[in-house]
């Protein structure tokens, strides 16, 4: 099945979205929404703008494949891959990965990521937001946990706003994936 390119779940027209069907245009729109929610009227940091300097390619699979070194030290074999895209596993080409990540941050926390995750045991992919913040709580002194917990709540709220907008726009979110699967019964 393929994406129709218009907004809305009914226009999305697919429950199965492979990496090639996440077009440059759709990825750019997802990034635009993410940055709008994450930074509002604040300027987007230069290091984030560098991660958005994608090379040639019409799909996420092509864009994330490279060429060029990855400034985060992640990417394909030998660090190859488009600037900013982190792959899991790091040595696999994008179509064979389980996760692709683009660190875009937000006003308060620079490590939040736009995530593109493979649905297990399929070739279907969905967009998500990876707050990338839970791992730090164990190292936070008890007297500072309140501030970090407030940050985690803000990140979770931001994640929900971005994913809600993507879902409403017909992007391939997990919610749209499940809705499509259920409507196909």
pLDDT tens per residue, range 66-107:
754 444 444 333 344 566 899 999 889 999 999 999 999 999
Give yes or no for a contact between 64 and 82, defined as CB atoms under 8 angstroms apart.
yes
Q: Is 177 helix (H, G, I), strand (E, B) or coil?
A: helix
Enumerate the H helices of 40-80 as residue ranges: 46-51, 60-65
Give 3-state DSSP helix, strand, coil % of the chain, rounded to 5. Answer: 45, 15, 40
Q: Which residue has the higher pLDDT, 166 or 16?
A: 166
Mean pLDDT for the chain?
A: 85
Q: What is the pLDDT of residues 4-18, one digit of tens each?
A: 333 444 444 456 799
- Is pTM beyond 0.85 here? no
Residue 40 region by backbone torsions, left for phi larger than 0, else alpha for psi between -120 and 50, else beta? left
Give the count of beta carbons closer than 10 Å to the beta carbon of residue 64: 29
pLDDT of res. 184: 79
pLDDT tens for 133-164 read 878 888 889 998 888 889 999 999 999 999 99
- Give the pLDDT band (50/70/90) at residue 123: very high
- pLDDT band of residue 185 (cuts 50, 70, 90) is low
- What is the rounded distance in angstroms from the CA atom of residue 185 to the CA atom of residue 178? 11
Compute the residue count for the chain: 185
Name which residue leads in pLDDT, 166 or 15: 166
Q: Where are the domains of the chain?
A: 9-178
- State which H helix or E strand residue 86 sits in: strand 85-88
In this structure, are strands 85-88 and 99-103 parallel, antiparallel, or unpaired? antiparallel
Phi then psi dihedrals of residue 85, to 5 deg: -80, 125
């Amino acid at each position: 099945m393929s994406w129709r390119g218009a907004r809305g779940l009914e226009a999305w027209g697919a429950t199965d979205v492979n990496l090639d069907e996440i077009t440059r245009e759709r990825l750019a729109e997802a990034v635009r929404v993410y940055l709008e929610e994450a930074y509002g009227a604040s300027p987007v940091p230069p290091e984030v703008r560098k991660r958005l300097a994608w090379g040639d390619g019409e799909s996420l699979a092509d864009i994330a494949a490279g060429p060029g070194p990855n400034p985060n030290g992640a990417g394909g074999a030998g660090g190859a891959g488009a600037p900013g895209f982190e792959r899991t596993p790091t040595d696999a080409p994008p179509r064979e990965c389980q996760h692709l990540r683009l660190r875009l941050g937000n006003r308060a926390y620079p490590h939040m990521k736009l995530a593109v995750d493979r649905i297990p045991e399929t070739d279907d992919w969905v967009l998500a937001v990876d707050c990338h913040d839970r791992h730090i709580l164990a190292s936070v002194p008890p007297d500072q946990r309140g501030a970090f917990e407030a940050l985690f709540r803000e990140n979770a709220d931001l994640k929900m706003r971005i994913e809600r907008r993507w879902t409403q726009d017909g992007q391939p979110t997990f919610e749209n994936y499940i809705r499509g699967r259920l409507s196909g019964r």
